[in-house]
Structure 1
Amino acid sequence: MNNSLWLQTAYPRETYPALDKDIECDVCIIGGGLSGIANAYFLAKEGKNVVLLEKDEILSGATGNSTGKLTVQHDIVYADLIKQFGRDNARIYYEVNRDAVSFGKSFSEGDELRNADSVLFSQSKYGTELLQDEKRAYDDIGIAGELGRNSELPLRTEATLMIQNEAQIHPVRLGQHLAKLAVKAGARIFEKSDVRLMDLKKRLLYTNSQNEIQFNELLLCTHYPIEALRGLQIMKLSVSRSYIVAAPANMPLTGQYISVDNPKRSVRTAFIDGKTHFLLSGEGHQAGMEKETQVHYETLSSELHSIYQLDPLKCGWSAQDPSTPDLIPYAGQISRSMPYVYLNTGFRKWGLSNSLASARIISDQIVGRQNKASSLYAPDRTGFGSFLMQALKNTGLVLKEFTGGHITRTHSPICTHMGCRTRWNEADQTWDCPCHGSRFRKDGSVLEGPATKPLDLG
C-alpha cells in the first residue's frame, strides 16, 4: 500500500545519467525535488551554467509524497504572520506565493494542474473564531477571501474561509515537465549522483563515484540541509511526519479542504488520466518518534470508508516536513561568511508554492536582482524567543534520544549523521532517526538526510 499515487502515475521516466566525470559549473544544485528543479530552470534561463545532482531519482522525495496543493492558503497562517512580522511582510509572503501559483499555471499542461478553490473549515466554536481572525488578516493584507459556510464534504461544518481559483497539481508530472524545460534552457541533471564530501573553501564537491564538481555557487535544496550546522539552521528545524491515503472515487471536488480543528485533516480529489482519486491526509507526529506507524494509515482508511463511503483503498504514503520556528522557510545565503552557499528548506508542509517562491528569491540573489522577499526568507535572519525555544527543544530531544536510544534500542543501527539510534518503521519499512529526521531504507541506504552515509547493518 505504501506508494505515492503521484509516483505511480508519473509520466514515463526521462532517464538522467549518473555523473561519471569531473565537471565545472557556475551553480551546483544538490537536490532534485521541485525546489532544486525550479532553481535550475530559473538560473539556466538567466544563462548560468547549472548542474543539478540528485542522489536517487528526481521528484521521488518530498515532492513526490506531497498532497499536491499549489495555493497561498497555508492553513491558519496570515494572522500569525502579521503578529510576528507585521502587515507588510505578511503581504510579501502572500504575494510571492501568489506569484508561484501563477507561475505553475503558466507552464502546466493537461492534468498536471487544475484550478480549485482552497477552503479552510471549522467544526467548533473555537475553530470558527480562528477563521474569523484569519479573515481579518486577509482583509488587512488584501487577500480576497470569503467567509461563509459552504462545503461539499459530508461533514458538519461551522464555517468556511475560501480563496477562489487556486490550484492543485500532479506534483511529479508538473516537476517532470519543469525539469524538461530546465534542460532545454541548458541545465544538466544527474541522477544516482550522491554528494559524499564537500570542501566549501575550495568550492569542490565529490560524489559517491569519486567525481569532482568545481562550482562558483552552491545551492542546498535537500529538504533537510546537510551543511546547515554552519549557520545553526539544523538546530532551528523541527521535522514532522504526516500520512496520506487515496482511493478511487466518483465524486470530484471543486475545492481542496483543510480542517482547523483537531484532528487535522486535508481533503482533495485528483483527476488523472480520466480517473478521479480521493485523497485524505493527516495523523501528524514528530518524525522518528513512533514505531507502529501503520495505525495512522488504518485510521485514515477507516475514515475513508465510514465518512466518505469509499472502498477499497488504492494506496497510502507519508511525507516528512521540516519547519522553521517562525513559519517562514529559509531561502538565501546560508551565512555572511560564506555568501556563495545558499540554503532552501523549512517549508512547513507547504513546499509546492514555497519551492517556486524560494527559487525565485535565490535565483534573483545569484544574478544580482532585487527581490522584496529576500530578507524575509533569509536563513540568517535573527530572533529571540521562538528561535531560542525551538533550539533548546530540539537540542534536548537530541540529547534525550541519543542517550535513551543507546540504552533501550541497543540492536537498532546507528544513524550516520550524529550517532543516534534509529527506530524501525514497520509500515514504511524504513529506519527512522528521531534526532534530526534522517531516514534509511531497509537495506541501510539513505532515503532522506541530513545523513549522507548508509547505515551499518552488520
Structure 2
Amino acid sequence: MSNDQLNGKLPEHPEPYWRTSVEFPTFPSLQEDIDVDVIVVGAGITGITSAYLLASVGLKVAMIEADKVLNGTTGNTTAKITAQHDLIYDEFIHNMGRNTARLYYEANMEALEFIKETVEKNGIDCDFTSVDAYIYSVSDKYAEKIKKEAEAYQRLQIRGGLVDSMPFDIDVKNVLVMKDQAQFHVTKYLVHLIDLFQKSGGQIFEDTVAVNIETGERPVVLTREEKRISAKHVLICTHFPFYEGTGLYSTRMYADRSYALAVKSQKKFPPGIFISADEPTRSLRSIMDNGEELVLIVGENHKTGQSPVETMDHYRALEMFGEEVLGLKEITNRWSAQDLVTLDKLPYIGEITSGNPNILIATGFRKWGMSNGTAAALLFRDMVTGKENKFEKLYTPSRFYAHPSLKNFLVQNANVVGQLIKGKLDSPNTKPEDLAKGEGAVITLDGHRKGAYRDDDGKVHIVDTTCTHIGCEVEWNNGDKTWDCPCHGSRFKFTGEVIEGPAEKPLQKYDYTMMDNLTSEDSGY
C-alpha cells in the first residue's frame, strides 16, 4: 500500500478502542443530598481503584462522575503498566537525588504488582500480560541519552539495561529494556473493579458535576444541580482538579495531547511494549481482540491548542509510520488523549494544600496513568485509614525542587502570556458561509473573532472563542472537532460545552442564520 493509498483509511470519527470493546454499566445522576465516609470525584483508574480499596476496608464510599464512567483520560490510554516512563531516571537523579528516583520506580512497580495480584485474586479476564518494555533511539543525540539512562538504571538497581537490537524493521541506534513490565485491557479490568466496589456497598453517580467544595472538618462537595455530598474525606481524581484550593494547579501544569490508532497489521507484532526516545514520539503495543491481533500506534504529542499542523495530520503521520514498520491492512479506531505534566514531572498526589488532610488530589500523571493512578489509589487508601506510606513525601503536591520547578514555572507561564497575546492579535478572514459540512474554523463576524462549525445537517454553530478560564483564545481541533485552549488545556465541544478543565463555564454561544444578525444565546451560566 503506497502513501497515496493511505489517505482515506482513517475512520471518520474518533472513538477509543477501549470504549468500543466493552459493555459499560450505567448509573443514575445524584438526586439528593448524601453523607458518606469518602466521596471520590472522577471515575477513571484512580477514582475507581480508590473507591474499590476504601470500600473493601468497610468505609461508606460514593463516587461521582461528570460524564460517564471511563469516558475520560483512562478510556483514551495505551494501557501500558510500566515504570519505564520515557527517559526520566537520569533526570530525576540529577534534579532530585538518587533516593527520590528509586522511590518513584518502587511506587510504580508496586502499582504494577497490585494490578497483577488483583487480576489473579479475582480472576479478572482483562488480557493481563507480562512483557518487557523497550525505549529506543533512531538518532545519535538520543542514543547518547539512552546510554545515560542505562547508567541511571544501574545506579537505581532497575532490572534491565542496553540491548543490541529490537525486533522491528526500524534502524535503531540504541535500545534500553526494562524487564518484567505489563499490559492489559484497562476497561475490562476497571469494569470488574466497579462491580466489586458495588458489591461492597459503594454508590456510583454519573452525569453529576462537582463544582466546588465547602471546606471544614467534614468538607462538602457541591454539584452543579445544587446537591450536597458531605464526607470525612474528599478524593479529587478528576483529570484536572475541579477544585484547586490555593494550590494554583493551573499555573503548575501544562496540558499535552497525543494521538492513537488501532490497526490490523500485515506483520506479526513481537512480544513487548515499545516507545521511541526521539521526537515525534512513537509508542507501540499489541491487543488481542476476539482472537485477532491489533496494534496500537501512539505519538505526535504537542501542547494542547498549539499544534504546528492541522490535527488530522498527526493521525496521518502515525498512519504512514505504521505502514512503513508494520504494513497496514485496516485502521479500526482513532482517538486522541490529553495528559497533564507537572513542573518537575512527578505527579501531584496527596493533600491539595498543606493543612488540608481531608481533601486529597491526584493529577499530573504525564501519560503514565496506569501505574501512577494505581499508586495514587494505594497512597490514598493509606492516608485515609491513617497508615504510614513511604511514598507520601515523594508525591506531595507541596514539594518544591528549585531547579526544575522554578525554571519550568517561568517557561510555562511565559508561554501562557505569549499565547494570550497571540490569540488577541489574530484576525482570520474566514466567514461562516465558507465552511463545508463537518468543517470548523476561527472566523471574523461583524469585526469580532468567533468560532464556527457547520454540522452534517448544515447548521452553523457559533461560539465566542474566548476561553472562560483566564481569557485566552481557543483554536479549532479538526481531528476531534473541539475547541482547544492553548494556555491551560481547557477543551470545549463545538457547541461550547466544557469537555476538560480548568475552565468550568461553557463558551458563549450565539444564534446564527445566513439571513439574520448574530444574537447571543443563554450559555447556561
Q: Shift of the alpha carbon at 1:270?
A: 0.9
Unpaired runs of 5+ residues, structure 2, are 1-10, 427-441, 443-448, 452-463, 511-525
Residue 487 of structure 2: aligned partner: 435
Question: Is 2:130 aligned against 1:115?
Answer: yes
CA contact (8 A) 1:111 1:272 kept: no
CA contact (8 A) 1:269 1:277 kept: yes
Residue 297 of structure 2: aligned partner: 280
Amino acid across the alignment from 1:199: E
Match for residue 342 of structure 1 among 356, 360, 370 = 360
Residue 17 of structure 2: aligned partner: 5
Helix, strand or coil for the counterpart of 2:326? coil
Helix, strand or coil for the counterpart of 1:393? helix
Match for residue 261 of structure 2 among 238, 245, 249 = 245
Match for residue 312 of structure 1 among 316, 323, 330 = 330
Match for residue 474 of structure 2 among 405, 422, 425 = 422
CA contact (8 A) 1:233 1:379 kept: no
Query: Please, what is the CA RMSD of the aligned residues?
Result: 1.8
Following the alignment from structure 2 to structure 1, what is the Cα–Cα distance between the partners of residues 289 and 331?
A: 17
Choose between structure 1 and 2 for higher RCO, CA contacts under 8 A separated by at least 6 residues: 1
Which digits, 9 at most, give the CA deviation of each residue in 1:190-216, with x for residues without a partner? 111111333234722222322211122
| Superposition map of 1:27-426 within 5 A | 27-108=38-119, 109-201=124-216, 203-228=219-244, 230-249=246-265, 251-290=268-307, 292-408=310-426, 410-412=449-451, 413=464, 414-426=466-478
Q: Shift of the alpha carbon at 1:50?
A: 1.3
Q: Shift of the alpha carbon at 1:83?
A: 1.4
Which digits, 9 at most, give the CA deviation of each residue in 1:313-345, with x for residues without a partner? 222111111111212111000112433211100
CA contact (8 A) 1:119 1:257 kept: yes
Structure label with greater radius of gyration: 2
Following the alignment from structure 2 to structure 1, what is the Cα–Cα distance between the partners of residues 118 and 321?
A: 36
Instruction: Between 362-371 and 348-357, report the one with greater CA deviation.
Output: 362-371
Amino acid across the alignment from 2:52: Y
1:112/1:184 CA distance change after superposition, 3 Å: farther
Q: Shift of the alpha carbon at 1:229?
A: 5.3
- TM-score in terms of structure 2 length: 0.83
Which digits, 9 at most, give the CA deviation of each residue in 1:128-184, with x for residues without a partner? 322222122112111110321232211112332212331112122222122222222
1:228/1:390 CA distance change after superposition, 3 Å: farther
Aligned residues: 457
Q: Shift of the alpha carbon at 1:443?
A: 2.4
Following the alignment from structure 1 to structure 2, what is the Cα–Cα distance between the partners of residues 401 and 262?
A: 23
Amino acid across the alignment from 1:6: W
CA contact (8 A) 1:25 1:49 kept: yes
Unpaired runs of 5+ residues, structure 1, are none
Instruction: Between 21-30 and 41-50, report the one with greater CA deviation.
Output: 41-50
Which digits, 9 at most, give the CA deviation of each residue in 1:32-72, with x for residues without a partner? 11011111112112222211110011111111111110011
Instruction: Between 238-247 and 406-415, report the one with greater CA deviation.
Output: 406-415
